[in-house]
Amino acid sequence: MFILLLLLGVILLAFVLAFRIYALLPSGKSPTSSNRRSTDTCSIAIFLGSGGHTSEMQTLISNLDFERYTPRTYIYCHGDEISLRAVGKLESDKGTSTKSDSYNLLPLPRARKVGQSPLSTSFSALRTILPTIHHLLILPLLRDPRNPFADVLVINGPGTCAVLVLVSWIRRILALPHTRIIYVESFARVRSLSLSAKLVRPFVDRFITQWPEAGGSNKAEYRGWLV
């Protein structure tokens, strides 16, 4: 009897959780204007996925006003020296490299490597989830539950970005102030979406493509060439 009640409780909890997530899914309607004033600062987290992903993100972020978008958190994968050099150049070009409080670095284990099998990916993703929960969820809650780790998270793949979205969503489920998520699909995706894009598409606040045929008509904003 106890096992049956426990099973029913688990099923009910799963149903409530699924309903809660469904109710919170972004509608896909045209974005509304923000209540944030033009003089307000906005903390931003930027995921650098290495290689071409980092190059595109570097170009995209270089157009931001760093006086307004501060502090900045650069998230990258362990051993990714290319992304570290990109951060150094980006901050140096903006003249902020000497301001230690204007940005910080957050290294994480890589969730998936190119060509990695689904079975081994599940283990590597787990190794990524645990430190991500620590840095993106637990530490901000201990500092100030009212503030998420960043006001905005900008991602463009690859697979590790799905873990960032997953952990960021925990605050939404708990009805806490949460991070808004912007996904910009790679310039290389002309007629179809990447696997990462397909995974995170229902859960991001803005889903942007750089080619009109890439995203179809469902919740995709075509913004032309951004990089």
pLDDT tens-place string over residues 89-147: 999 988 765 566 789 999 999 887 766 666 667 778 888 999 999 999 999 999 999 99
User: Residue 115: what pLDDT?
Assistant: 63
pLDDT at 140: 96
Scanning the chain, the segments in alpha helix (DSSP H) are 2-24, 51-61, 81-94, 118-133, 139-143, 160-173, 195-200
143 φ/ψ sector (left φ>0, alpha ψ -120 to 50, else beta): alpha
- Which domains does the chain carry? 40-222 (3.40.50.2000)
Per the CB < 8 A criterion, the answer to whether 124 and 113 are in contact is yes
Confidence label for 226 from pLDDT (cuts 50, 70 and 90)? confident
Range 183-199 average pLDDT: 91
- pLDDT of 5 reads 65
Q: pTM for the full model?
A: 0.87
User: How far apart are alpha carbons 112 and 109 in whole angstroms?
Assistant: 9
Determine the residue type at 20. R
Contact 103, 73 (CB under 8 A): yes
Helices then strands, each counted (H, E), the chain: 7, 7
Q: Residue 33 pLDDT more than 60?
A: no
Q: Treating both helix axes as pointing N-terminal to C-terminal, what angle do 2-24 and 160-173 enclose, rounded to 10 degrees?
A: 100
Strand-pairing partners, residue 72, are 44, 103
Burial 169-199 (b: 16+ CB within 10 A, else e): bebbeeeeebbbbbbbbbbebeeebbebbeb
Hey, how many other C-beta atoms are within 10 angstroms of the C-beta on 213?
Answer: 11
The pLDDT value given to residue 31: 56
